[in-house]
Homo-oligomer: A and B are copies of this chain.
Amino acid sequence: MKTVNEAALWLQSHDTYVILTHCRPDGDAVGSAISLCLGLRSIGKTAYIWKNPQFTPRYLPRLQGLVIDTVPEHATIISVDMATEGLLPINGKDFAGKILLSLDHHPSNTGYAQHSLVLAQCAGCGELIWDLLEELGVAITKEMAEAIYIAISTDTGCFRFSNTTAHTFMTAAKAVEHGADIAPINRELFEIKSKGRLRLESRIMANMEFYADGKVAIACLPQTWVEELEVTEDDLDSISGFPRTIDGVQVGIMVRDSEPGKAKLSVRTANGYDASAYCSKLGGGGHKAAAGCAVAGTLEDGKKAILEVLKQEQVI
């Protein structure tokens, strides 16, 4: 499928939808699923979201009345925001090979579904869903608008990331016009940090090392801290990017020992520095601005290895 219109016609001609989200579902997956499910119901279709055991607690109130954990007869299985069947939820591996429509924005979508609509220009899958709901003639409600807002705001870091486009802002404008109350959502998603996260950041900051006049910052995150400070997986979200949020830092490195015997390095760089080049020297890879690698040994071993590379590359 190439257009939202084709996907809309297909959805109009089927029924009894079960919508899948990927494992460890983020705001874009959950928001896209909720709005699509509500939209399909509003035009008379039967629709459910497959109960993903990894839904984060903050989204459960919005999912109430929408989820199902058995497959109804004659179900039409569709997925949102899912690039590969390898990302099926942990209780949904049996859906492999049975997905009829994939609605996605990942250019890496493997084409696993019978039909796919992949719009890679969308920052969030939620943008595609909004256009689809309009195409379906859905009267978009506050609940749908807020779900889409969650989808697009989380996938763009509240419109900060470089994937944000005019279309993203336009979709946010429409969400507000359709009643989305965005201030409390923004506060919950982008402003509030847990005590554990703040204490962890404090400790990371106090132990951070700077090189090359502050252009390079290296931080270690020992797993013992994670346990000691009772930090959750949610608290660790995007912690790898923390060194690069410091003024003047062009190359930010986070070293973790979350797997025993291994130092995992995340490297984030500004324009003019190539994270992928540094990491590939240690057997890793990624993009120019964000890459990773793993080194056998302790946190100290990992730090030494990347510092050696940065010396070779004349960064420090």
Q: Which residues of B contact A186 (CB under 8 A)?
A: 159-161
Asked if A166 lies at the interface with its beta carbon under 8 angstroms from chain B, I say yes
Q: List 13 A-B contacts (CB under 8 A).
A: A158-B159, A158-B160, A159-B172, A160-B187, A160-B190, A164-B176, A164-B183, A170-B170, A192-B245, A192-B246, A194-B247, A195-B214, A199-B206
Evaluate contact between A183 and B169: CB separation under 8 angstroms: no
Residue numbers in B under 8 Å from A214 (CB-CB): 195
In contact, B176 and A245 (Cβ under 8 angstroms): no
Which of chain B's residues have a CB closer than 8 A to the CB of A194? 246-247
Contact A245–B166 (Cβ < 8 Å): no
- Copies per complex? 2
Closest to A188 in B: B247
Is A198 located at the chain interface by the 8 A CB criterion?
yes
Is A193 within 8 A of B246, CB to CB?
Answer: yes
B173 pairs with A246, CB closer than 8 A: no
Q: Does A201 contact B (CB under 8 A)?
A: yes
With A205-B199, A205-B202 in contact, is A166–B177 under 8 Å at CB? Answer: yes
Contact size class for A?
35 or more
Closest 10 CB pairs of A and B: A162-B183, A169-B173, A202-B202, A166-B176, A160-B186, A194-B247, A166-B173, A169-B172, A166-B177, A170-B173
Beta-carbon contacts under 8 Å, A198-230 to B: 198-199, 201-202, 205-206, 214
Q: Kindly identify, within residues 132 to 178 of chain A, every residue whose CB is under 8 Å from any CB belonging to chain B.
A: 158-162, 164-170, 172-174, 176-177
The answer to whether A182 has its CB under 8 Å from any CB of chain B is yes
Chain B residues with CB under 8 A of A166: 173-174, 176-177
Point out which of A190, A247, A248 has the most chain B C-beta atoms below 10 A from its C-beta: A247
**Contact A159 B162, beta carbon cutoff 8 Å:** no
